Amino acid sequence: MATIIDGKAYAARLRAEIGLQVRTLREQHFVTPGLAVILVGEDPASQIYVRNKANQAREAQMSSFEYRLAYGVPEEQLLELIERLNQDPAVHGILVQLPLPPQVDPERVINAIRPDKDIDGFHPLNVGALATGGKGIVPCTPLGCLMLLKHHLGDLSGLHALVLGRSNIVGKPMASLLLKENCTVTIAHSRTRDLQAECQRADILVAAVGQPRLVAGHWIKPGATVIDVGINRIEEAGKALLVGDVDFDLARDVAGAITPVPGGVGPMTIACLLLNTLEAACRQNGIAFPGNIMQAAWGSVEGS
């Protein structure tokens, strides 16, 4: 039976540690990290995410600024708001919730965010920094996945990692991070010929395709570490269910460790968003970032 990687507990620890650091920052440097979240339209899932982000920012003692724009908002108006936030010294991180309505070009929006306030890590400068091994802001979901992997496995060097999915938000940055950790990395996607064979080779499997239970139990290499990024809403036997991209019930008999859905990667994403905001606030004020924050958060979880 696989170890269940409790992302919810890890994320809670990380948030508590971030909260302590935020307090120190305020007391010693008179800086309160500020997170601005922009939501365009009324997509119910996005509304829940945005509410969670704002609540957790406040719980971590940060300032939270929320902007809700109508679905039909002209692109120009959104760009003007971003420019105002770029110049606002109380705002250290700007997040525009995706997806955006069709009249708004997401590339133009992402490019408009000041790179040092781009706590999503989506701006080309941050993407480039990650790809070239430079210092930039790393996208939250892959960062959360990497933390869980390193916490569970320690050194990832030489392991064969399969990233299932090639999105800019998860798949591609995840592959870059794993490569940086000296994994042998394969990226699989919808056109991959023999997905099962690719999965069976992987010591680490990160699934991020948004297809409910795509990865069958027998596809998994015995003992592998499985990180399930999928959050799929399905209906089964008349019941609404939230399931991942991996068939959890069967996979847990084969894998060495696996993240559940919900309660795995999801909570880590928001914790990492807060971490990126804290780091951005430090950098923008010329303050050294408390580099041992992860160790402090992790140290007492499983004594590793």
Catalytic residues: 53, 97, 120
Q: Does the annotation place 48 within a ligand binding site?
A: no
- Please report how close the Cβ of residue 277 comes to ligand GUN at its closest, in angstroms: 13
Within 8 A by CB and 6+ apart from 48, the residues are none
Binding mask 128-147 toward ligand GUN (x if CB under 6 A, else -) reads: ------------xx------
Nearest by Cα to 58 from 274, 294, 212: 274
Whose Cβ is closer to ligand GUN: residue 140's or residue 204's?
140
Query: How far is the C-alpha of 66 from the C-alpha of 216, rounded, in Å?
Result: 40
Q: Which of 14, 36, 62, 95 binds ligand GUN (CB under 6 A)?
A: 95
Q: Does the annotation place 167 within a ligand binding site?
A: yes
Query: How far is the C-alpha of 122 from the C-alpha of 205, rounded, in Å?
Result: 23
Q: Which part of the chain contacts ligand GUN (CB under 6 A), choosing from 1-9, 94-102, 177-185, 204-212?
A: 94-102
Whose Cβ is closer to ligand GUN: residue 159's or residue 274's?
274
Q: Which of 64, 97, 126, 225 binds ligand GUN (CB under 6 A)?
A: 97
Q: Does the annotation place 256 within a ligand binding site?
A: no
CA dihedral 54, 59, 60, 64 (to 10 degrees): 30
Q: Does 98 bind ligand GUN (CB under 6 A)?
A: yes
Site for ligand GUN in 175-234 (CB under 6 A): none
Q: Does 120 bind ligand GUN (CB under 6 A)?
A: yes
Q: Does 100 bind ligand GUN (CB under 6 A)?
A: no
Helix (H), strand (E) at residue 7: helix 7-29
Q: Which part of the chain contacts ligand GUN (CB under 6 A), choosing from 90-98, 185-193, 200-208, 218-226?
A: 90-98
Q: Which of 18, 31, 60, 96 binds ligand GUN (CB under 6 A)?
A: 96
Question: Residue 34 in 3-state DSSP?
Answer: strand
Tokens of 274: 């807060």
Q: Does the annotation place 63 within a ligand binding site?
A: no
Within 8 A by CB and 6+ apart from 131, the residues are 176
Whose Cβ is closer to ligand GUN: residue 202's or residue 231's?
231
Binding mask 160-179 toward ligand GUN (x if CB under 6 A, else -) reads: ---------x----------
Helix (H), strand (E) at residue 204: strand 204-207
Query: How far is the C-alpha of 14 from the C-alpha of 294, rounded, in Å?
Result: 7
Residues recorded for the chain: 304
Query: How far is the C-alpha of 198 from the C-alpha of 200, rounded, in Å?
Result: 5
Using CB under 6 A as the binding criterion, the count of chain residues that bind ligand GUN stands at 8
Q: DSSP character for 104?
A: S
Helix (H), strand (E) at residue 96: strand 93-96
Return residues touching ligand GUN (CB under 6 A): 95-98, 120, 140-141, 169
Q: Which residues are annotated as a binding site for NADP(+)?
A: 165-167, 231
